[in-house]
Structure 1
């Protein structure tokens, strides 16, 4: 009897831990920071790479846990989130707070062991996500702008971890991931519009699934594409991109833009979902192309 009980409970504990820290999202953020590190470093130090991976994971996990503590009552109203550990009653606020606090301390301490600037940007990321972005989500669509700042830090953070320096290179990486987040989040806000409405969240720039939102989505896709090819022109310091790399990145951008235009034409939740998936594929592939281009050019 005790064996079957353990079998049932353990996956639940593991899945709740994964849910409270949003493991899949955290791993995608770690991927971004590792890509930034590989772009900035001259000789790969696997110890630093490992520290960055763990520090980045703890940093994002802490932000997500704090977010779910603050939004627990709103999460209970939405179909997408009502089965999360806190609103479902499987995890207490105190347990979640303990996880978030431990993750914050571990994350900042690990990043500090790399260098002070990396820890500083990590701390800024947690603060902005938890104390500014989360409260603003129920008040104004500007929350997406604020949330895009901590969301854009990881790619840049990797470079800072590699070089202990903030300049044009990490600034460009930050700008790329910053502008990319608008079509990404607005696509999510579009196809989850009704669910977000239940929780009182304002995610779309006009507050509605309308042409204005679709046009702004297209504009931010174009900005993202333009920023993505800036390194080919040679004025972003050590962050460089070959002509072949720039062409590939540009084509990937056109792919994302295609789905943004489809959203404008069709105005459907299905087209918004396709844009969201295209945006995830885009940022992942662009980061891979940047890294591969550096090492083979």
Structure 2
């Protein structure tokens, strides 16, 4: 039985949209924003939560689309990215640009309805990701440092959306996710080193899969865990976790450090991939523990 052409085109449009906005990544970023909102709010406003979800997805999606427009020729060189909509010929550059522009306008407008500070941080995130991080990726390993700033904004963005205020609490959430970026992205840069090399990307701190890079991964993993435990000390205002949650955070912190140490000892692609997976689990579990701690205590 033949599939109607309209159905096929609809499926193709949806696939292109989810691919070019990197749906899984965007959803994980929205998850961080929602966690930040739940930590900051006095009572849950589901209307604000809906706006944050829509605006957050549009914000991240726009960044990803602009990124893929700029890197389309390099994406075509790498196995990991050659089947993305633009290099694969499933979407034109002009169509992608229109989509990115619409997502930017919608995202910032929706975040502005929440409050102006949330919209401002959303706009800063898009600007830094597209105008600074993306062009620096082919020029210097410092690109990961620059990219860590927009990458760390979503967790704190949720708190700002809930409170219309930037203080010690969202600053702490920002710091946690900022340090976390380094072991996460350097692990990816390690096991995808050869593929990144085809596109001319500099993702590792010293450009090599060696002991020096592994030491930095381990150090930033330590700082990530230490930053994650600061709310247990009671110096971060309304952001506080109980001793029980601190023990849980310390436990998953040891888990993260173990795999960072394994990369240091083994220096293999397998160890790097394992660390990447553990790092994703770490930040997700941390956010769940933080939120659960607030609503259970």
Fold shared per TM-score above 0.5: yes
Q: Distance in 1 between matches of 2:3 and 2:269?
A: 45
Shift of residue 87, structure 1, vs aligned partner = 0.5
Shift of residue 16, structure 1, vs aligned partner = 1.2
Counterpart residue number, 1:18: 18
Counterpart residue number, 1:64: 64
Structure 1 stretches lacking a partner, 5+ long: none
Matches within 5 A, 1:198-277: 198-277=198-277
**Tell me, what secondary structure is at the counterpart of 2:165?**
coil
Say which is worse superposed, 1-10 or 269-278, in terms of deviation.
Answer: 1-10
Counterpart residue number, 1:191: 191
> How big is each residue's C-alpha offset from its partner over 1:133-154, in whole Å with a ceiling of 9 and x where there is no partner?
0000000000000000000000
Cα RMSD of the aligned pairs, angstroms, is 1.0
Counterpart residue number, 1:291: 291
Counterpart residue number, 1:278: 278
> How big is each residue's C-alpha offset from its partner over 1:89-143, in whole Å with a ceiling of 9 and x where there is no partner?
1100000001100000000000000000000000000000000000000000000
Counterpart residue number, 1:35: 35
Matches within 5 A, 1:88-167: 88-167=88-167
Q: Distance in 2 between matches of 1:70 and 1:272?
A: 28
Counterpart residue number, 1:76: 76
Structure 2 stretches lacking a partner, 5+ long: none
Say which is worse superposed, 31-40 or 9-18, in terms of deviation.
Answer: 9-18
Regions of 4+ moved over 4 Å: none
Shift of residue 11, structure 1, vs aligned partner = 2.6
Q: Distance in 2 between matches of 1:12 and 1:263?
A: 40
Shift of residue 275, structure 1, vs aligned partner = 0.3
Shift of residue 15, structure 1, vs aligned partner = 1.4
**Tell me, what secondary structure is at the counterpart of 1:229?**
helix
Counterpart residue number, 1:9: 9
Q: Distance in 1 between matches of 2:284 and 2:43?
A: 23
TM-score, normalised via structure 1 length? 0.98
TM-score, normalised via structure 2 length? 0.98
Q: Distance in 2 between matches of 1:205 and 1:87?
A: 28
Shift of residue 290, structure 1, vs aligned partner = 0.2
